[in-house]
Amino acid sequence: MGQKFSRRNLIVGAAASAAVLTSAAKATGTGTIHNVTIKAFNFEPVHLKVRIGDTIRWTNHDLAPHSATAEEFGWDTNELAKNESGEITVTEGMETSYFCAFHPHMKGTFGVS
């Protein structure tokens, strides 16, 4: 019980804990975040390649409101005002074509591998 803790032991313990937490995050497959910019009434990039578990984040840089809405309405970011972001997590079997509900000529897709 009368054990003394040195600064070195504390640092080694903290480093070991961080290593365990890092490997746990990798093991859970947290995925990659893919950013899509909405600018000049376009989605950039128009097409993404993603994997199940990845996140797609849309950020609106236009003055007008926009959305990213699945063609069959299976998912939606809802209205995104200027400088707002919305995101979805890619799941198996989800719709991969989308448009802006406010400006239907704006279209994008993503492929799941």
Structure tokens at 113: 């591998």
pLDDT band at 14 (very low <50, low <70, confident <90, very high): very low
Q: Express as a percent the part of the chain with pLDDT over 70.
A: 74
pLDDT per position as a tens digit, 23-67: 222 323 579 999 999 999 999 999 999 999 999 999 999 999 999
Q: pLDDT at residue 15 above 70?
A: no
Gyration radius of the chain's alpha carbons: 21
- CA atoms of 67 and 85, how far apart (whole Å): 9
pLDDT at position 112 is: 96
Report yes or no on 60 lying in a domain.
yes
Report yes or no on 21 lying in a domain.
no
Report yes or no on 13 lying in a domain.
no
Q: For residue 53, what is the domain's CATH number?
A: 2.60.40.420
Q: What average pLDDT does range 71-97 have in this prediction? A: 97
Nearest Cα residue to 110 out of 101, 100, 99, 97: 97
pLDDT at position 29 is: 53
pLDDT band at 76 (very low <50, low <70, confident <90, very high): very high
Report yes or no on 37 lying in a domain.
yes
* Domain hosting residue 88, numbered range: 33-112
Report yes or no on 65 lying in a domain.
yes
Report yes or no on 97 lying in a domain.
yes
Into how many domains does the chain fold? Answer: 1
Nearest Cα residue to 111 out of 11, 6, 34, 4: 34
Report yes or no on 84 lying in a domain.
yes
Q: What average pLDDT does range 6-26 have in this prediction? A: 39
